[in-house]
A and B are shown apart, each in its own frame.
Chain A
């Protein structure tokens, strides 16, 4: 299905890199490296140069921590979205937020896509997406409260739950008026999931792809990779890329990443192996 992400449309065989840009002092991976607005802006320039089609700007780290109210979140990301929009008129700008109030503010500044990492915690977010003809990411969290860690969470079938919840969310967005080709689902690795759950949604990602909704995966340097390989943050790139390859083969469309170049190479290589992408240059053995 063709993807329409705000001002851009993408063919149904396109794989998209969504680069993470944190306007936070405390996110787990970059630890505040782009907390200063100019640093975040430099990060945007870098990932655009690296070929990212989408930037995902976030003002609140996912893990528990100091409470950030809507006004503070808007102060972190609102005008910054406007600045990025001015500098990059055609770039797809996503904002990582669960709050409708924040969604409205960033769409007014030119955001194309609302990445609701917390699974519809604010029921009015879909209305904002519809109002601004923006796209929306419908994630699965198992119904947990935003910014909480899973604790002894259990599923009879985590994949069935992820499919049921994300497709129900997608239908709710559709009913609210969001364009069908602007709705994406995301199993949300590690959100409301322990490592076994995240591994299972990876292993069975094809079942989510089979729903027909475009699938986003957010794997980058997460704890399920760390626990799988017993590696700390900062040493999880190879594991992340292995999971990326697996999801690429299953048919994921969007990859939310810290490392754009490496992920792009993996996704392109998988597509080339699968025959959906041509090699860049072929002369070996043929001259």
Chain B
């Protein structure tokens, strides 16, 4: 049993795209977003040098059936943590009812992938309202809203981060945080955020 932290915890939200791991091509359209994500992960590591708790969605069952069993979010987290020089314990949580086990929590998740006609999931107008709700809750450190995000609507809108955001909401409970969001955008038709939650206590 991993012990609970003795003090409050900080959290960072980063996108869950494989392009957070590597560009894959000569051009690197998410270089700026990746740099911001890495900055925030470094900040998180500085406040939790011994253990990081990762919240991400479970591996896509279809990908598991194809032989890929490690959740994408976990791979993104490990890549960013490695790039930040972190080589200590990583505790990965893919369920929505977690307790804080570290003073540093890394949430890997994003909003809808249906934010345009060329988006991965084509256009669904409901994506904008749904993502606005998530973004407002992230900015306000509104745990209740995050904890009760609709799983079904999130799935319809290809918002892969919903399980991780719900887990963050459940984790946050009554803890007090302040948010600094350093990125919000959908350059490839998927809503990405980079945000820091700093423990207020």
Listed in ascending order, the chain A residues whose CB lies under 8 Å from chain B are 278-283, 285-287
Contacts and interface: CB of A to CB of B under 8 A. Distances in A.
A77 to B, nearest CB: 37
B67 interface: no
A278 B19 contact: no
A280 B26 CA distance: 5
Give me the 10 closest cross-chain CB pairs, A-B, nearest first. A287-B188, A282-B24, A282-B25, A281-B27, A279-B25, A287-B190, A281-B25, A286-B18, A280-B26, A278-B26
Interface in B152-201: 188-190
9 contacts: A279-B25, A280-B26, A281-B27, A281-B29, A282-B24, A282-B25, A286-B17, A287-B17, A287-B190
Given A280-B25, A281-B25, A287-B113, 5 more contacts: A278-B26, A279-B25, A280-B27, A282-B25, A287-B190
A280 B189 CA distance: 20
A286 B23 CA distance: 10
A281 B17 CA distance: 15
B144 to A, nearest CB: 30
Contacts of A285: 120
Contacts of B25: 278-282
Interface of B: 17-19, 23-27, 29, 113, 119-120, 188-190
Nearest to B27: A281
A14 to B, nearest CB: 15
Contact of A287 (B23, B27, B189): B189
A283 B26 contact: no
Contacts of A287: 17, 19, 113, 119-120, 188-190
B181 to A, nearest CB: 20
Nearest to B120: A287
Interface on chain A toward B: helix, strand, loop, or mixed SS? loop
Contacts of B24: 278-279, 282, 286
A274 to B, nearest CB: 16
Contacts of A286: 17-19, 24
A283 B190 CA distance: 11
A84 B188 CA distance: 45
Contacts of A280: 25-27
Contacts of B27: 280-281
A279 B17 contact: no
A279 B26 contact: yes
A225 to B, nearest CB: 31
Contacts of B189: 287
Contacts of B29: 281, 283
Nearest to B190: A287
Nearest to B24: A282
A283 B28 CA distance: 9
Nearest to A285: B120
A17 B113 CA distance: 41
B29 to A, nearest CB: 6
Contacts of B23: 282
A2 B11 CA distance: 50
Candidate in A279, A280, A287 with the most chain B CB atoms within 10 angstroms: A287
A25 to B, nearest CB: 42
Candidate in A278, A281, A285, A286 with the most chain B CB atoms within 10 angstroms: A286
B19 A281 contact: no
Nearest to B15: A287
A285 B19 CA distance: 10
B127 to A, nearest CB: 13
A280 B18 CA distance: 17
Nearest to A281: B27
Contacts of A281: 25-27, 29
